[in-house]
Each structure stands twice: as C-alpha cells, then as structure tokens.
Structure 1
Amino acid sequence: MHPHKQRERHYNQAERIAQTLMNRASGCTYLNALIKILPTVSQTKLGRSERLTNVTKAFALNPNIKLNTQARYVVVDDVLTTGATLHACAHVLRKAGIKNVDALALAHG
C-alpha cells in the first residue's frame, strides 16, 4: 500500500494479515520486503488488462531489508481478483534473484 493511502486509512490490511499469519507459523519471519513506490488508482473498477498496467512498476524492494535469495518468500494480499498485484510483487522479487516466491490471498473476488 502506498504511504499516502496508508495514512488515509490508518492501517494496511494486507500487512496485518501477513503479520498475523507469520506470528502463528513456525519458522517464519515477517519482512516488509516490498514497498509501493507509485500511487495507483483503485483496482476495484478496473478490468484485467487495466489492473496489470496499473500496478506495473508500482512496487520496489525495500532498501532497508536484506533479502536471502535462497529463502522462500510469501507475497500476501487481502483479495485476489486477477492476481495483478501479487504478480507485480512476485516479479520484483524474482528480478532480485529470489527463486521461491509463493502468493497468498485471504479472499477471492
């Protein structure tokens, strides 16, 4: 979630989901490995191709986090509709040399 949007909402639902899951999972650590660098329009009213374009280049690696290319990373989102956001995030991680990237969404819309 872009920092402007998070200030508006006062929370990041995907981050809360990820933190809760990682706190309960044995051997897992929560890392905010990605940051949203571009504000995007809400995906809710967009079609598939528009969603893909909307989030392309919206995410980057968090410069404060050192990634282990041999570790497994899970990208978490609150709702999966087209998978555009999860795909964009996984793309950034794979480009950084991460080979094991999984995705998890709480709901399917």
Structure 2
Amino acid sequence: MSIWTDFRELFFPRLCLVCGKKLCLSEDLICFSCLSSLPYTRDLGVPGNEMEMLFWGRFPIERAFALYYYAHGGSVSRILASMKYLGRKDVCFKMGMLLAGRLLDVGFFDKADFLVPVPLHPKRYHKRGYNQSEWLAKGIGEVAGKPVLADALCRLRNNRTQTRKSAFERWINTENLFALAPGSNLLKGKHVVLVDDVLTTGATIEACADVLSEIEGIRISVVTLAWTK
C-alpha cells in the first residue's frame, strides 16, 4: 500500500453504496456482503421470460433483462440514487459492467448491433451533467463489445418524474415524448438494445420503442439495471 493510498483511506475512506461501511481495499463501490445479498433476478436471461412478457402486444421485442429487482427504500434504490443524483458516473459504468457480465454466458448481446440509452431532456442533462442510462450503456459496451449510440433518440419534453403515477398516468406522461435523432440513420435493419436504469410499468421503454419502430427492419431488445416487478 502506498503512502498516498494510506492518506486517502484515512481521510477520504471509500464507503459502501448500500450499507455505508468502509470498504476493504479489494472491494469496489459495494462491499462483498451487500453485493451478495442484492435482489438478483434469476431466470430473466432466458428467452420468453416474464420481463419480455410485459411488452408482448405492446411492441415486437426480441429479448429483455434486468439485473436486480427494485423496491422503494431498498438496497438497489440507494445504488440508483447515487447514479442519478450524486454525480456518480463511475457507479453507472461499474453497474453496467456487472450487468453485461451476467449476460455474456447466455448470448444476450451476440446479435445486437448497438446499445441505445433512453435519453434525458437537454435541460435535465444540463442540470445533472450526464445521462445515467448512457453511462450504464457505456459500462455494458465495455464488457459486451458493443457500440453505444447516444444520439439515436431525443427527448421532446422535460416531463415530470414517473414516481407515484398510476400505469395510465405514466402512459399519458410519455405520449409523444421521444423522436428520432440523426444517429437513427444507422439503425436500418439493425438489432438495438434499449438501455435504462430502472423499469417500472414499461411506459418509457414503450414510448422509445414506438419511435424506433418507424425504422425499417429494426429489432429491439431491452435491458435495465433494475425492475419494479
């Protein structure tokens, strides 16, 4: 251990995102105890899983997957909060790597051409300084070897948060929310994976997929870090 590392650990200790305890040198972002106890999904890497079924009849979907189940106030919510509100792009990237690592063995990304993150409105992007879904996609791309296309979609309205909205209200809130952007010219006949941080009713993903479906021959899969089942 270097003198600088000793100094940093003494005065600026690295803390677990979930429990807040000091991390060991071999731990990164989340302690091993919390990492092993996170609510991992089990069989969502299997084609025809229950997350895919959520979108059946809403748009043609190839595959769907989420790494964790989400519960308000739970361990995953603390990870998501650091990704969205605490400026932790490193957390987004790391979680993307973990997510992709889980899917490599089941060939989830084998036929994918691009990773397309769900976009933020420019005002929200400017305020936050980054798009957490884009950095999640970058982490996925690092492991899966797939390019991130962040300019395929644009967000037309800075709509209010979906929190505490009913399923119908969420659908209304996302109507005419997205449009194709210049990067979408690359997607004709391609298989894209839509990337977002958390899936609730699927209204936001459906709104993105509806717009992307205007592109000839496009195929769409979905991956999120968490899912509110």
Task: Give the TM-score taking structure 2 as reference length.
Answer: 0.45
Change (3 A) 1:105 1:43: same
The answer to whether 1:31 aligns with 2:149 is yes
- Counterpart CA distance in 1 for 2:183 and 2:202 is 26
Equivalent position to 1:99, from 193, 210, 218: 218
Change (3 A) 1:14 1:98: farther
Higher strand share: 1
The answer to whether 1:73 aligns with 2:192 is yes
- Counterpart CA distance in 2 for 1:24 and 1:87 is 26
- Counterpart CA distance in 2 for 1:41 and 1:7 is 16
Identity of aligned residues (%): 37
Aligned to 1:20: 139
Q: Rg larger in 1 or in 2?
A: 2
The answer to whether 1:56 aligns with 2:163 is no
Q: Kindly state the Cα deviation for residue 81 of structure 1 after the two structures are TM-superposed.
A: 0.6
Identify which range, 93-102 or 83-92, moves more after superposition.
Answer: 93-102
Change (3 A) 1:4 1:98: farther
Q: Kindly state the Cα deviation for residue 24 of structure 1 after the two structures are TM-superposed.
A: 1.7
Amino acid of the structure 2 residue aligned with 1:82: T
- Counterpart CA distance in 2 for 1:93 and 1:10 is 26
Amino acid of the structure 2 residue aligned with 1:39: N
After superposing on structure 2, the runs of 4+ consecutive aligned residues of structure 1 that deviate more than 3 Å are none
Change (3 A) 1:100 1:65: closer
Q: Kindly state the Cα deviation for residue 59 of structure 1 after the two structures are TM-superposed.
A: 0.6
Structure 1: gaps spanning 5 or more residues: none
- Tell me how large the CA RMSD over aligned residues is: 1.4
Identify which range, 4-13 or 56-65, moves more after superposition.
Answer: 56-65
Name the structure, 1 or 2, with higher relative contact order (CA <8 Å, separation 6+): 1
**What secondary structure does 2:186 align onto?**
coil
**What secondary structure does 1:66 align onto?**
helix
Task: Give the TM-score taking structure 1 as reference length.
Answer: 0.90
Amino acid of the structure 2 residue aligned with 1:43: Q
- The count of residues paired between Structure 1 and Structure 2 equals 108
Structure 2: gaps spanning 5 or more residues: 1-119
Contact 2:121 2:154 in 1 (8 A): yes
